[in-house]
Structure 1
Amino acid sequence: MAAHIFESKYFKNNWGTQEMRDIFDDDRKLQYWLDIEVALADTQAELGIIPKEAAAAIAENGKLELLDMDIYRERLAATGHALVPLLHVLELRCREGLGEFIHFGATTQDILDTAQVLVTRDATRVILRDALRLEKALLGLAEQYQSLPMAGRTHNQQGLPITLGLKFANFAAELRRDIERIKEMPKRCFIIMLHGGAGTMAGFGEQAYPVIEGVAKRLGLIVPPTCWANARDTVAEYLCVLGVLAGSLARMANEIVSLSCSEIAELQEPISKENVGSSTMPHKRNANVCEMTVAQARIVQANVVIGLDSMICEHERDARIWRLDLHNIPESSILVGKMLAAMITVMEGLNVQTANIAKNLDLLGGLLLSEAVMFYLGEKLGKQTAHHLLHDITMITPDDTRTFRQKLLDTPEIRKVLTPEKLEEIMDYSKYLGQSENQVRSTIAFCGEAAKTDAGAV
């Protein structure tokens, strides 16, 4: 029985990718614990704190596949401590008592928190990579459809014509802001913890700073100005960034769900012939991938609350907060990884129904251009007068079957200043798209400029 959906042998791939699950695999985490111990020993040997032979023995044996994990499991069950049994089996592998120098001056949370940083860095690299791929797909769609008019909707009703390209550019611009947030995280979030029992580094003696600097350099991490065992803002920031990114992805997905409904049918996610939308309604073409993405986002955003709550702790160390990380960091990371993979699939294979877009554009018989008419009439009659006239004309009356155009020309005040020829000119959707195309071009340029600093950002 799977305790979590990520572990389900049947459904786990609906909720996460194998790549991201591998990042949070137990063996990978334990190997990072060993890697940190090796880096610590190497640094201390270099500084003359421990014998070089000890560091060599620790490095030689600090590989999970060499250790007796049956003993680890037994001692883990007996002690209830995650790290100490691992140090014990590593010590058993080291010859001539050299294992006595393992974990010299450090405390458990130093190792666990630093390993967590290394794991989240791995996850962030995958997230950034996939966010960039999704951005590329969105920019391609924005450019392809930058001039295609469609109905823009506000309050779930048609409002004004926009271009389909502007919709995709809007998604891309938001995603680029998410990417920039991801790129900003490393300097604050990818920091080492190696400060000892109460954060004073007393266990490392006078060479405390050379030790932490040497280990940080070996691991590619930043040395913070103080211990952060009791300051979990870095964890909260990581979860917040994932929460915002999840919201962006869910907004894209939710829009496709909305625009794929039978009455609109403008955008549809790609599906195979084998796809089944319903067990009883064979015709259903549900936006299953996008619906799942929206559901997953809600879990990621709920974890943000847990991350923020974990910032409130007591004194120099509080196990009640960091144990929350064991749940929300893997869960949010795996979900966001899957959401990105899903939206890449959707956007790279999106089915754009241009015929339905054109049909829906004229669904209201020209009412979508009431603003354009109002501004033209405003120059002749005054803006407020024009608004009042058009409001009266456009209010639905069941027994009036006249078209919007006919109502305009049948209104004496309007007929005096608006000819049929001018009205037809105004009622061209392609001429009332505002700066839609310029915004698409601006977004492409904005993303391109920001992308110059993408390489090596994480």
Structure 2
Amino acid sequence: MRKNTIHIIDSPYYEHIYGSKEMSQVFDSRRRYQRWLDIESTLAKVQADLGIIPREAAEEINKKAKLELLDEDFIRKQLALTGHSLMPLLKAVQKVCDKGLGEYIHYGPTTQDIQDTSAVLELRDATNIIAKGLIETEKLLLPLAEKYASFPMVGRTHNQHGLPITLGLKFAGWAAEIRRDIERLKDMSKRLFVIMLHGGTGTMAGLGDKSYETVEALAAALKLKMPATGWGSSRDSFAEYQNVLGVICGTVSRISNEIYQLSRTEINELHEPLGTEYVGSSTMAHKRNAEKCAMNVAVCRIVINNASLGMQSMMSEHERDTRAWRIDWHSLAESSVMTARALETLNNIVSGLDINENAIVANLEKLRGLLFSEAVMFYLAEKLGKLTAHEAVHGAAMRAQKEGLHFKEALLQDPKISGHVTADELDHIMEYSRHIGTSVRQVTDVINVAKALSTTDKELSA
């Protein structure tokens, strides 16, 4: 029988909305304990190689530091009794080691060394998963951008129809932002994936005369970098991770929300894909609600807000402050799991995106030619001057909206304008394909930038 759950990301009913099985495995409690034990075992090997502890001790520790060999009831009881997060685990290993060789486990480091190094390893795995999701999003968006590079649609500003853009340009804008998020992960990784093994106050004194050799060897074994100094009370790298996730979820929520908005009944241009068993409403059977998009925005808002927790954990005191890094235990895991979920959901949406081309074309004509106000103004500016032309076109536009006229009709009826432009000239001006600006070139540029930068994407899985 499944254990009762409290957090929504672990809910057996709603984890498909809030949680990611792949990411949850990274932060699984048992896996975390084993990761701590693995770091201790690797440290013992390093210290044996350097002649710091007996080889026999390192071998025994590596043999017995397996969670399945330990008395978990003992660990739980000791956690409650001691209030210490690591000592019960170490004592459990000591109990199963023969010849008293368990005395050599955790020989020199402090608790936070093990737990922070473990957290870095968790975040490395988490970053790989998030990067994989972002790269998949980009791969889904770029073909759509290319396919619709010159397909005109309404560009909207302040929730109103503005000027024509292309659907491909919209997709390209999303893809460009996703690519920037991928590059942020690469840049962040240079600072984040470093070891922590500097002891109680950061001097490495507990590791003895071979402290640097020990830390450097352990870092190499774990494939982490050696920092210039300890960072027990410096939480900036973890805060950066959470802020980068906040930015990523800002991107994901923007895309999800845009699809959500464009699925409105009166717009009807983009829709998330529907399953065969989809139900939009318990009462209104006709509803086609953008449920996945809506939930994605909600999930992303949690991650965005968690970024502030990362910043708060930076406010630590002196050389060590448990209050700071205990916050990370909550927010790092939650943000990672929810970001992975948001990307999984977004990729599901984009991979089956329902594009209503007929509605996109029809919406271009909703303002009956008014989308060409700027183009007409610049055409007339050559004859009337820019400010005079703007005033005249503005008057015709207001009259067209008030009296329900087509913009072309209002222009030709205006005595300030009619003598300077013919019906045929207006027909020529009012071709949507003539007013998409550099949309096609921008799409091409986005594709080329993505291709060039993707050559170093392998850094994220190294």
> TM range, normalised to the smaller chain?
over 0.9
Are the structure 2 counterparts of residues 399 and 157 from structure 1 closer, same or farther at C-alpha, using a change threshold of 3 Å? Answer: closer
Alignment-mate amino acid for residue 375 of structure 2: A
User: Could you list the runs of 4 or more consecutive aligned residues of structure 1 that deviate by over 6 angstroms after TM superposition?
Assistant: none
Q: Look up the match of 1:337.
A: 340
Q: Look up the match of 1:235.
A: 238
Of residues 110, 115, 130 in structure 2, which corresponds to 1:112? 115
| Distance across 1 between alignment mates of 2:218 and 2:326 | 24
Q: Does 1:389 align with 2:392?
A: yes
Deviation of 1:398 after TM superposition, in Å, equals: 6.8
Deviation of 1:39 after TM superposition, in Å, equals: 1.3
Q: Does 1:313 align with 2:338?
A: no
Q: Look up the match of 1:53.
A: 56
Alignment-mate amino acid for residue 218 of structure 1: A
Q: Look up the match of 1:346.
A: 349
SS in 2 for 1:162: strand
Q: Does 1:199 align with 2:202?
A: yes
Deviation of 1:368 after TM superposition, in Å, equals: 0.5
Matches within 5 A, 1:205-244: 205-244=208-247
Q: Deviations over 1:276-311 (max 9, x none)?
A: 111110011110111111111111111111111111
Counterpart contact for 2:131–2:460, Cα < 8 Å: no
Q: Does 1:3 align with 2:3?
A: no
CA RMSD of aligned residues (A): 1.1
Q: Look up the match of 1:361.
A: 364
Are the structure 2 counterparts of residues 398 and 186 from structure 1 closer, same or farther at C-alpha, using a change threshold of 3 Å? Answer: closer
Alignment-mate amino acid for residue 50 of structure 1: I
Q: Does 1:420 align with 2:386?
A: no
Matches within 5 A, 1:109-188: 109-188=112-191
Deviation of 1:273 after TM superposition, in Å, equals: 2.5
Q: Look up the match of 1:252.
A: 255
Deviation of 1:457 after TM superposition, in Å, equals: 2.7
| Distance across 1 between alignment mates of 2:442 and 2:436 | 11
Comparing 432-441 with 400-409, greater Cα deviation is found at 400-409
Unaligned runs of 5+ in 2: none
Alignment-mate amino acid for residue 211 of structure 2: A
Are the structure 2 counterparts of residues 399 and 351 from structure 1 closer, same or farther at C-alpha, using a change threshold of 3 Å? Answer: closer
Are the structure 2 counterparts of residues 63 and 414 from structure 1 closer, same or farther at C-alpha, using a change threshold of 3 Å? Answer: same
Counterpart contact for 2:400–2:410, Cα < 8 Å: no
SS in 2 for 1:454: helix
Are the structure 2 counterparts of residues 233 and 401 from structure 1 closer, same or farther at C-alpha, using a change threshold of 3 Å? Answer: closer
Q: Look up the match of 1:273.
A: 276
Report % sequence identity. Answer: 51
Are the structure 2 counterparts of residues 195 and 53 from structure 1 closer, same or farther at C-alpha, using a change threshold of 3 Å? Answer: same
SS in 1 for 2:420: coil
Deviation of 1:156 after TM superposition, in Å, equals: 0.3
Alignment length, in residue pairs?
458
Deviation of 1:82 after TM superposition, in Å, equals: 1.7
Alignment-mate amino acid for residue 355 of structure 1: N
Unaligned runs of 5+ in 1: none
Q: Does 1:446 align with 2:449?
A: yes
Q: Does 1:78 align with 2:81?
A: yes
| Distance across 1 between alignment mates of 2:224 and 2:40 | 15
| Distance across 1 between alignment mates of 2:43 and 2:377 | 73
Q: Does 1:65 align with 2:31?
A: no
Are the structure 2 counterparts of residues 399 and 29 from structure 1 closer, same or farther at C-alpha, using a change threshold of 3 Å? Answer: closer
Are the structure 2 counterparts of residues 398 and 456 from structure 1 closer, same or farther at C-alpha, using a change threshold of 3 Å? Answer: closer
Q: Does 1:432 align with 2:435?
A: yes
TM-score (norm 1): 0.98
Q: Does 1:323 align with 2:287?
A: no
Of residues 84, 98, 101 in structure 1, which corresponds to 2:101? 98
